[in-house]
């Protein structure tokens, strides 16, 4: 199964070009779409989900033309937006049964089996009789996965799902996504590098509506080998270093000195070689140090 995106463009009325000639082929597995807020990620997610039209371009799920047949796409789509509302004072099991009915699962036995299975894989069985509106942020996101999977979708789109979750909730949420990722096309949009590093075997970095890099996380990190350098500097040296080197990041040491990480083709004076990380890849491409 493949999702093929060709020449996808979208410019809003205010002149912002949110999608700039996007070409991507995405296969079964976890695909990470990594970029800062405002990069165009949500526009692309909504466009693939047929919630808005592009100005031009084609999107094919195997032989299905998504723009020509949006209703057919929605039958095999699971979509979890950044935020979604829930009915107050209705339990998870009641809501899932209701959504299953809306999605055409008419058999009470089949609905019951499906709801039970989804509550189990999202680790919500013990909280199934509680109101979803009373759930924590992480529990709501896991409920979102449960309702998303009711129609056994072929294509799953998850937009900025871990923003605002505490570490434990984030871990549980990522574990659920990891379990379902092997059998579906899952597009995981985020600005959190660690999420892509932990979860995805394929990725793209996006900014200002453009795809800056398409690679696997492993290959992208490997490609930066021998180009990342580090040096301990004082706070007073930061401004000078920023004007001299292609700075990727700084981090504090206990003595308030800073670890400076830079991108360079050759070792700068006074720097030591550093093992490349996915975060280095992210900032290298966002800053235009490599294309």
CATH of the domain at 71: 3.40.50.300
> Strand 185-190 and strand 155-159: pairing?
parallel
- Looking at the fold, whether 139 and 182 belong to one and the same domain comes out as no
Is residue 263 within 8 Å of 269, Cβ to Cβ?
Answer: no
Residue 284 resides in a domain: no
Model confidence, pTM = 0.86
Residue 282 resides in a domain: no
* CA dist., res. 138 & res. 141, Å (int): 5
- Looking at the fold, whether 164 and 199 belong to one and the same domain comes out as yes
- Looking at the fold, whether 48 and 175 belong to one and the same domain comes out as yes
3-class DSSP state for residue 147?
A: helix
Is residue 261 within 8 Å of 280, Cβ to Cβ?
Answer: yes
Residue 121 resides in a domain: yes
Residue 56 resides in a domain: yes
Is residue 161 within 8 Å of 190, Cβ to Cβ?
Answer: yes
Residue 242 resides in a domain: yes
Residue 288 resides in a domain: no
Last residue of a domain, one of 113, 135, 150: 150
Last residue of a domain, one of 167, 182, 216: 216
| pLDDT value of position 137 | 81
Domain total in the chain: 3
* CA dist., res. 122 & res. 83, Å (int): 18
- Looking at the fold, whether 57 and 2 belong to one and the same domain comes out as yes
- Looking at the fold, whether 5 and 70 belong to one and the same domain comes out as yes
Which residues of the chain fall short of a pLDDT of 70? 83-86
| Conformation bin of residue 273: beta by default, left when phi > 0, alpha when psi is -120 to 50 | beta
- Looking at the fold, whether 169 and 50 belong to one and the same domain comes out as yes
Residue 200 resides in a domain: yes
* CA dist., res. 116 & res. 105, Å (int): 14
* CA dist., res. 226 & res. 237, Å (int): 24
- Looking at the fold, whether 112 and 248 belong to one and the same domain comes out as no
| pLDDT value of position 85 | 67
- Looking at the fold, whether 234 and 212 belong to one and the same domain comes out as no
Residue 110 has a CB neighbour count (10 Å cut-off) of 11
Please give the order of strands across the beta sheet that includes 64-65.
Answer: 17-27, 2-11, 56-61, 64-65
Give the residue ranges of DSSP H helices in 62-136. Answer: 70-75, 92-102, 108-121
What does the pLDDT look like over 166-211, one tens digit per residue?
888 788 878 878 887 777 899 999 999 999 998 899 999 999 999 9
| pLDDT value of position 86 | 66
Residue 286 resides in a domain: no
* CA dist., res. 236 & res. 258, Å (int): 10
3-class DSSP state for residue 100?
A: helix
- Looking at the fold, whether 56 and 177 belong to one and the same domain comes out as yes
- Looking at the fold, whether 72 and 158 belong to one and the same domain comes out as yes
- Looking at the fold, whether 200 and 182 belong to one and the same domain comes out as yes
Residues of the domain holding 53: 1-76+153-216
- Looking at the fold, whether 191 and 128 belong to one and the same domain comes out as no
> Strand 228-233 and strand 185-190: pairing?
unpaired
**Taking Cα atoms as reference points, which of 146, 133, 152, 137 lies closest to residue 97?**
146
H or E stretch at 164: none
- Determine phi and psi for 194, rounding to 5 degrees: -60, -30
Is residue 253 within 8 Å of 259, Cβ to Cβ?
Answer: yes
């Amino acid at each position: 199964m493949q999702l093929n995106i060709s020449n996808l463009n979208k410019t809003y009325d205010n002149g912002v070009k949110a999608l700039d000639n996007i070409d991507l082929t995405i296969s079964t597995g976890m695909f990470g779409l990594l970029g800062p807020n405002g990069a165009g990620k949500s526009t692309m997610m909504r466009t693939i989900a047929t919630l808005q039209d592009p100005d031009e371009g084609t999107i094919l799920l195997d032989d299905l033309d998504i723009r020509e047949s949006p209703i057919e796409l929605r039958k095999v789509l699971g979509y979890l937006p950044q935020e979604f509302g829930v009915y107050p004072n209705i339990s998870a099991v009641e809501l899932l049964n209701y959504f299953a009915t809306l999605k055409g699962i008419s058999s009470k036995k089949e609905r019951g089996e499906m709801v039970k299975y989804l509550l189990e894989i999202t680790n919500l069985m013990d909280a199934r009789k509680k109101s979803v509106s009373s759930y924590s942020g992480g529990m709501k996101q896991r409920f979102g996965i449960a309702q998303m999977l009711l129609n056994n979708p072929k294509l799953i789109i998850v937009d900025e799902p871990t923003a605002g979750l505490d570490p434990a909730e984030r871990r549980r949420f990522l574990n659920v996504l990891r379990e379902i990722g092997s059998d579906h096309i899952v597009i995981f949009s985020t600005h959190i590098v660690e999420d892509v590093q932990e979860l995805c075997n394929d990725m793209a970095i996006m900014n200002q509506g453009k795809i800056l890099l398409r690679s696997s996380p492993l290959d992208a990190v490997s490609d930066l080998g021998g180009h990342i350098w580090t040096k301990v500097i004082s706070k007073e040296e930061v401004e000078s270093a920023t004007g001299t080197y292609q700075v990727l990041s700084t981090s504090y040491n206990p003595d308030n000195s800073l670890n400076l990480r830079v991108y360079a083709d050759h070792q700068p004076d006074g720097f030591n070689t550093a093992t490349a990380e996915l975060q280095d890849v992210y900032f290298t491409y966002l800053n235009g140090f490599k294309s």
